[in-house]
Amino acid sequence: MTYNLNVQGYCNLLFPAFPDSGEVMKSEIWKKLEVLQGDITRLKVDAIVNAANTSLLGGGGVDGAIHRAAGPELLAECKRIGGCPTGEAKITKGYHLPAKYIIHTVGPVYSGKPSDSRLLKNCYQNSLALAGENNIATIAFPAISCGVYGYPIEEASEIAVNTSCSFLDSNPFIEKILFALFSRHNYDIYVDTIGKLMA
Ligand code: ADP
C-alpha cells in the first residue's frame, strides 16, 4: 500500500468485508473504500483529486490548499493545459505533494437542476478513468462541489460513493479510494451514507 494512514490528526474508517453475506464481489468493493477526516494535501497516495474551477489557475478552498502545497510548478503546468470544462478531468504531476499526481476536476455549481447530479457523477467517473490510464492504484477525493459551489453534502456523498462503487465493480486495478473530508460534519455524513448504501 502506498498511502500513509499514520498522518497525525487523521482518523480512518476501514469498512470491513461481510464474511457471512456470501456477496464476495460486493464486499471486495466496500473494502476498497475509506473515509478520512483531514487535509487531503498530506496524503501519500498515487493521486489526489482537486475540486478545481474551469480556468485550472487556482482558487480558494481545497484548490488553494493544493496549489500552496504543490508549489508554483503546478500553476505553470495548469497554464499549459489551458482549462477544463465542468465534469471533465485533467492530470498533472504532484510536485511538492506527497501524492505523485493531481487529478483536477471541475464540479458543478449547485443549481437544483437535474444536470447537477449528472455533472458531479461525471467528475468522479472521469477522474477514475484518468486514474486507470495512468496506473494509479490509490486515489483520494475531497467533497467536490460541497464548499463554495454549494452542493448539499448528503446528496453529493451518495453520488461520490455510488459512482466509485460502480467504477470499482468493472475496474479492479484501483486498490483504494479514499474520501478525505475536511470537517468532522462531512466525515460523519459520508460514514452515514456508506452505512445506508451498504445496508
Ligand atoms: P468547490 O468549489 O468544488 O465547492 P471547495 O474547495 O470550496 O470546492 O470545497 C470542497 C470541499 O473541500 C469542502 O467540503 C471543503 O471543506 C473541502 N476542503 C477545503 N480544504 C480542504 C483540504 N485541504 N483537504 C480536504 N478537503 C478540503
Q: Is the CB of 186 under 6 A from ligand 1?
A: yes
**Domain segments of the chain: what residues?**
2-198
pLDDT tens digit at each of 199 positions of the chain: 334 333 333 445 555 444 444 455 567 898 999 999 999 999 999 999 999 999 999 999 999 999 999 999 999 999 999 999 999 999 999 999 999 999 999 999 999 999 999 999 999 999 999 999 999 999 999 999 999 999 999 999 999 999 999 999 999 999 999 999 999 999 999 999 999 998 8
Q: Is the CB of 189 under 6 A from ligand 1?
A: no
* Residue 143 falls in which region: left (phi positive, over 0), alpha (psi -120 to 50) or beta: beta
Q: Does domain 2-198 have CATH number 1.10.645.10?
A: no
Nearest CA to ligand 1 atom 23: 39
* Global pTM value: 0.91
Q: Is the CB of 7 under 6 A from ligand 1?
A: no
